[in-house]
Structure 1
Amino acid sequence: MEKRLEVWDRPGVCGLDNSGNFCYFNAVLQCVCSTVPLVEYLLHPDTRKELARAKCQVAQVFVRLLEQMWLGRSSSCAPVEARSLLCSILPQFNNDSQQDAQELLLLLFNALHDDLKKVGRRKTHSSKHLIQDQDRKCATGLGESTIVSKLFEGSFSYVTVCMRCDHKTHNTQTFTVLSLPIPTHISKCSIQDCLSPFFEQTLLTGAERMLCSACELRKETALVTFLDKPPEILVLHLKRFGCKGKNQVKLRTNVTFTTELDLSLFLSSSAQKTSCTFYRLYAVVNHIGHLNMGHYTALCHNTLTRTWHCFDDSAVRELHDNHVQSPDAYVLLYSCKPFRKPKIPGL
């Protein structure tokens, strides 16, 4: 069912040493390492040249770590340089306290995206005209487009309807991580049970009533949310840490999930015609233990071996598909496109 790997010849399967209380950091890095399109882009020779020319410090640190994890021959490595960079650009993580893996993942996305924008700006400046490539010129929630926004960014469509005059307004909002509330009144639910309340129609009453621009009155308003532009890679965050009265607690509801996820019920009518609706799971971040005394691990699917592995800092073991499901799941990463064998020089 589970076996410890004896001969280490599996690219992309590499444990990460933990010299402090950085299990949350290691778990997030394993998910990044398992995101094949991102790894391919960062390790491509042309990209590496551009990163050096544009002096992309954050991206180059990731490149060196990913190179160790994909092309190294050791069962584990020490992400010392990446950890040092983390503490310098995100000082709130410069301590030995337990931190939130979801918060770190989102901040790393932003830091990497901001760094990679230098490449696009450099090309724009050197060519003396705006880049016409659609992937690079679009305005997104993260700003200028990069591989990070291309892979992880999606958008919602909010429709509000005045219950008096039926006047409709449309608004959009971009996202990179989708945070889902967990039902608290039951001990077990499905990931669909967490998604449904996020997208179900809500009636705004009382103080929440919105001022209608058509009838200029504050009346009850219906709010409907649709997924307008699903991201290529969907990151779902289960909101396990909340409040019970005045105390902060960890919600232990067992959220069941499968390796395939269908989003068709939550897409807008236009997105249903043009967007991918089925996603496949490729990484999970687990949080074990209590709110203040917990431990993070990562479960990641390797596209070369076609097997799952459990990463517990430097300890790595192969995992049977049936054991991916866990009541400790905290962050789930799905891809709408199956990962192929990565095109990495030297692999």
Structure 2
Amino acid sequence: HVCASCMGFLQVLPPTVQKHKRWRRPGVCGLENSGNSCYLNVVLQCLCATVPLVEQLLHWDTLSEVFVHLLEIMWLGGGSSCSPLEVRSALCSVLPQFNNDSQQDAQELLLLLLNTLHDDFNKVLLHMFELSAVRGCSFNSNIVTRLFEGQLSYMCICMHCHHQAHNTQTFTVLSLPVPKDSIKCSIQDCLSLFFKQTVLTGGEQAMCSVCGLKRETAVITCVDRAPEVLVLHLKRFGSKGKNQVKLRTNVLFFTELDLSQFLSGLVPNESSYHLYAVVNHSGHLTMGHYTAVCYNSPAQTWHYFDDAAVSEVQEDRLQSPNAYLLFYSHNRSIQRH
């Protein structure tokens, strides 16, 4: 069974791609480890599970050209696994800091990869906009921006005169604090910590435009524009004194997420999110391993990806104390049917 959205883009692929009819399950394909590259493999798996992004990328010729080639193999190829070496090589040419066999941070890679794809899209959009090659093409129709970009709102209140000032900031990943002294907490606890009202005091006092002086300032944060794809990053890596440590708090997360209490009044009916991918990190700071669990929309099943090894898992087995990145969406192309 293939959902209507997925069937649509499978039918309009180029003939050279359509001729591959021997795939096992579209989008279910392990990725071989090319030298401690598990951090790259899990990010690619989660992006491969982001159906609206796949739909768009399979029609573009952009770093994304090699990424498109990999997506074609993962969605339409006949093998149970493949090598992402071409993507890694192209990525390292753009981001040389990943051109080694050291373990890297999957969240850092995700941000840089999305920024690279964003810039890639803008170059192509600008070219098409100038040539008017695509009817109805908008220069602002960048798929990475539309899917992953949200906006935070900060209301700063002077504790002396109560003057209010507003600032905004765009984001593609929300990095959430994890309670340090807890054995177990929930993802809602982490969200509440992130959006908790804070007071800037001492050297952090903010300049008040009315008082003309630095004053103690209350800061209230909320989401002004909710992204279609919400990526939550659990800040497990930090410092304790002079030592770098990993927080092993078991963060309980859910397949359904309600953001309503953290949204401003400007966000209508966009509070309901559905989990579709998880990146797990086991081990330590300097020696660890990444795996991913992703929902496959055409098959309506969850799969566990450990580099080239792939196995189907039940939804009630998703919870893990190693959760590091959580991918949520309110787009029906990714949600379960």
- Calculate the TM-score normalised by the size of structure 2: 0.89
Counterpart contact for 1:229–1:275, Cα < 8 Å: no
Counterpart contact for 1:280–1:338, Cα < 8 Å: no
Unaligned runs of 5+ in 1: 1-6, 138-144, 342-347
Q: Pick from 47, 67, 76: which aligns with 1:32?
A: 47
Q: Classify the secondary structure of the residue corresponding to 1:269.
A: coil
Q: Pick from 122, 131, 135: which aligns with 1:126?
A: 131
2:286 aligns with 292
Counterpart contact for 2:23–2:77, Cα < 8 Å: no
Alignment of 1:88-237 (within 5 A): 88-127=93-132, 136-137=139-140, 145-237=141-233
Structure 1 position 308 matched with structure 2 position 313: no
1:87 aligns with 92
Please report how far the alpha carbon of residue 275 of structure 1 lies from its aligned counterpart in structure 2 after TM superposition.
Answer: 4.4
Q: Classify the secondary structure of the residue corresponding to 1:159.
A: strand
Paired with 1:263 and 1:275, the residues of 2 have a C-alpha distance of 10
For residues 131-190 of structure 1, the C-alpha deviation after alignment (integer angstroms, 9 at most, x for no partner) is: 986x633xxxxxxx5110110000001100111211110110000011011000111000
Q: Classify the secondary structure of the residue corresponding to 2:139.
A: helix
For residues 39-78 of structure 1, the C-alpha deviation after alignment (integer angstroms, 9 at most, x for no partner) is: 01112xxx33xx2xxxx2x111111000000001110011
For residues 2-30 of structure 1, the C-alpha deviation after alignment (integer angstroms, 9 at most, x for no partner) is: xxxxx972111000111311011111110
Unaligned runs of 5+ in 2: 1-21
Alignment of 1:320-335 (within 5 A): 320-335=314-329
Q: 1:214 to 1:38 in 2, by over 3 A?
A: same
Q: 1:303 to 1:127 in 2, by over 3 A?
A: closer
Q: 1:185 to 1:97 in 2, by over 3 A?
A: same
2:9 aligns with none
Amino acid paired to 1:299: V
Divergent runs of 4+, >6 A: none
2:19 aligns with none
Counterpart contact for 1:156–1:229, Cα < 8 Å: yes
Q: Pick from 26, 32, 35: which aligns with 1:17?
A: 32
Amino acid paired to 2:310: V
Structure 1 position 41 matched with structure 2 position 56: yes
Please report how far the alpha carbon of residue 127 of structure 1 lies from its aligned counterpart in structure 2 after TM superposition.
Answer: 3.5
Amino acid paired to 1:303: S
Q: Pick from 57, 78, 81: which aligns with 1:76?
A: 81
Counterpart contact for 1:283–1:333, Cα < 8 Å: yes
Paired with 2:323 and 2:186, the residues of 1 have a C-alpha distance of 12
Amino acid paired to 1:136: F
Please report how far the alpha carbon of residue 340 of structure 1 lies from its aligned counterpart in structure 2 after TM superposition.
Answer: 5.7
Q: Percent identity?
A: 63
Q: 1:227 to 1:8 in 2, by over 3 A?
A: same
How many aligned residue pairs are there?
313
Amino acid paired to 1:22: S
Q: Classify the secondary structure of the residue corresponding to 2:227.
A: coil
Amino acid paired to 2:69: R
Counterpart contact for 1:308–1:320, Cα < 8 Å: yes
Counterpart contact for 1:158–1:224, Cα < 8 Å: yes
